[in-house]
């Protein structure tokens, strides 16, 4: 069913405390449709770049240059990884600039300066080069020594994912934006009381000045142990009521309490292991057939980077629907947790409406969204669930009631 046809089915709900599913503006529909086109373009370019570098033999030439500069195996891997990332980033820089700067300004979603965009782009590239060099050293070190390299590389990926989860909110995120304590101390006390009811103790509440980059709204709970933190965009603080903020954070606390972070990490890890195994199964025949054109005869050669990326990109398209299905499930359960924690259906539904409008969303998913783009249920599903899920009103047991401390 087309988006236009779906929109004709949306009816305004009578004023009975129930929040209506919004009809998206023409601007939001256009933003969504052009975003889908750009996603397809990004995906095709993401496959085309490593394919060109691989089949032209440029990768082998880059490997030779990296070997001269790096002088040893480790130096070759590091130099190759950094040069590859820099060159490919420069190739897609015009599209990145359009998507992240020009387009967002055109739709009124940012007031970011070009200087800030450029600084963030360079910072992200620098972080990517560091991570790429580390991953390259680990992966190619295993490739050189292990017959079942896909298994050992997969095992090595899990601690790297966990370290990334711990490091990112504390050391990487502050490279792009300024984090500080929540200025509204009354709201902070309510948030910490809610966190305590949810079984989360020792958290700190931060607000981040994301309005320098975007007008979109967001909040999240991140970190473990000493890095545990509740973070609010300054945009959501301006546009949401305190009750709506408490529901949004109740949802985010649900991810933390219900172990969703672990589930998603394990899902990502399983996808990595499956991807590596499929690369192991397919790469040998491709190298045997195209070794002269590729310029290498073994996957342990650093020149195989674009082959790994090309196969990995194709495989990820195939397994993305499963990963997104898992993500939508945990997001739905986090919505349930937030509703049971706050018991504020109106605040929950109205927060979804505001997120939909302020972020130029559309309430219903299309097929491409469902399979490859959306890790959340559609906004319409979330609003309708927020309106109707009220087990406490009929004396039914709460699914997560045993997780809550007494009011």
CB atoms within 10 A of CB 343: 17
CA dist 243 and 300 (Å) reads 55
DSSP 405: P
Q: What's the farthest any 2 CA atoms get from each other in the chain?
A: 74
CA dist 339 and 348 (Å) reads 7
Contact (Cβ atoms closer than 8 angstroms) between residue 179 and residue 204: no
The predicted model scores a pTM of 0.90
**Average of pLDDT values for 19-42?**
97
- State residue 165's pLDDT score: 82
Q: Which of 114-118, 228-232, 335-339 has the lowest mean pLDDT?
A: 228-232
**Average of pLDDT values for 152-161?**
94
For 300-353, the pLDDT digits (tens) are 999 999 999 999 999 999 999 999 999 999 999 999 999 999 999 999 999 999
Residue 183 burial class via C-beta count within 10 angstroms: exposed 0-12, middle 13-18, buried 19 and up:
exposed
For 198-211, the pLDDT digits (tens) are 998 877 899 999 99
3-state secondary structure of 205: strand
- State residue 263's pLDDT score: 93
Q: What is the rounded end-to-end Cα distance, in angstroms, of the chain? A: 46
**Average of pLDDT values for 12-33?**
82
DSSP 297: S
Here the tokens at position 233 are 């965009």
Contact (Cβ atoms closer than 8 angstroms) between residue 149 and residue 143: yes
- State residue 15's pLDDT score: 39
Q: Which residues are catalytic?
A: 252
Is the alpha carbon torsion for 107, 109, 113, 117 positive or negative? Answer: negative
Here the tokens at position 276 are 């590596």
Which is it for strands 204-208 and 229-233: parallel, antiparallel or unpaired?
Answer: parallel
Q: Which of 151-165, 270-284, 321-335, 342-356 has the lowest mean pLDDT?
A: 151-165
Q: Which residues pair with 231 in a beta bridge?
A: 206, 220
Within 8 A by CB and 6+ apart from 237, the residues are: 184, 187, 207, 245
- State residue 203's pLDDT score: 78
Residue 222 has pLDDT above 90, yes or no: no
**Average of pLDDT values for 145-163?**
93
Report the phi/psi class of residue 2: left, alpha or beta, with left for phi > 0 and alpha for psi in -120 to 50: beta
Here the tokens at position 376 are 């959340």
Which is it for strands 219-222 and 229-233: parallel, antiparallel or unpaired?
Answer: antiparallel
Greater confidence, 13 or 214? 214
CB atoms within 10 A of CB 157: 19
CA dist 160 and 207 (Å) reads 27
Contact (Cβ atoms closer than 8 angstroms) between residue 121 and residue 93: yes
Q: Which residues pair with 232 in a beta bridge?
A: 207, 219
CB atoms within 10 A of CB 333: 18
CB atoms within 10 A of CB 361: 20
CA dist 174 and 182 (Å) reads 15
Supply φ then ψ for residue 202, to 5 degrees. 80, 15
Q: Which of 17-21, 150-154, 266-270 has the lowest mean pLDDT?
A: 17-21
């Amino acid at each position: 069913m087309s988006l236009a046809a779906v929109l004709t089915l949306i009816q305004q709900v009578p004023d009975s405390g129930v929040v209506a599913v919004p009809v998206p503006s023409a601007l939001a529909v256009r933003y969504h449709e052009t975003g889908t086109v750009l996603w397809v373009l990004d995906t095709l370019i993401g496959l085309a770049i490593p394919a060109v570098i691989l089949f032209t033999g440029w990768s082998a030439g880059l490997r030779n240059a990296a070997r001269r500069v790096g002088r040893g195996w480790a130096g070759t891997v590091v130099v190759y990884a950094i040069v590859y990332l820099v060159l490919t980033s420069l190739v897609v820089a015009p599209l990145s600039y359009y998507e992240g700067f020009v387009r967002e300004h055109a739709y009124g979603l940012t007031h970011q300066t070009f200087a800030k965009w450029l600084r963030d782009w360079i910072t992200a590239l620098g972080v990517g080069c560091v991570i790429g060099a580390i991953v390259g050293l680990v992966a190619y070190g295993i490739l050189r020594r292990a017959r079942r390299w896909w298994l050992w590389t997969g095992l090595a990926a899990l601690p790297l994912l966990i370290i990334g989860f711990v490091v990112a909110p504390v050391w990487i995120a502050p490279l792009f934006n300024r984090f500080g304590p929540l200025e509204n101390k009354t709201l902070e006390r309510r948030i910490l009381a809610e966190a305590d009811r949810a079984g989360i103790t020792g958290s700190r509440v931060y607000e981040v000045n994301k309005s320098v980059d975007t007008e979109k709204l967001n909040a999240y709970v991140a970190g473990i142990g000493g890095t545990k933190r509740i973070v609010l965009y300054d945009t959501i603080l301006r546009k949401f009521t305190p009750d709506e903020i408490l529901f949004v954070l109740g949802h985010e606390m649900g991810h933390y309490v219900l172990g969703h972070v672990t589930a998603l990490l394990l899902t990502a890890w399983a996808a990595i292991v499956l991807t590596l195994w499929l690369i192991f199964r397919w790469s040998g025949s491709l190298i045997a057939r195209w070794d002269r054109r590729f310029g290498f005869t073994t996957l342990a050669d650093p020149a195989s980077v674009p082959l790994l990326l090309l196969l990995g990109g194709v495989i990820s398209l195939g397994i993305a629907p499963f990963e997104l299905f898992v993500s939508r499930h945990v997001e739905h359960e986090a919505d349930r947790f937030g509703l049971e924690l706050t018991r504020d259906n109106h605040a929950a539904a109205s927060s979804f409406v505001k997120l939909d409008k302020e972020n130029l969303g559309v309430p219903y998913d299309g097929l491409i969204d469902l399979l490859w783009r959306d890790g959340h249920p559609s906004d319409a599903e979330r609003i309708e669930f927020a309106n109707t899920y009220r087990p406490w009103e009929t004396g039914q047991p709460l699914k997560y009631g045993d997780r809550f401390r007494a009011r």
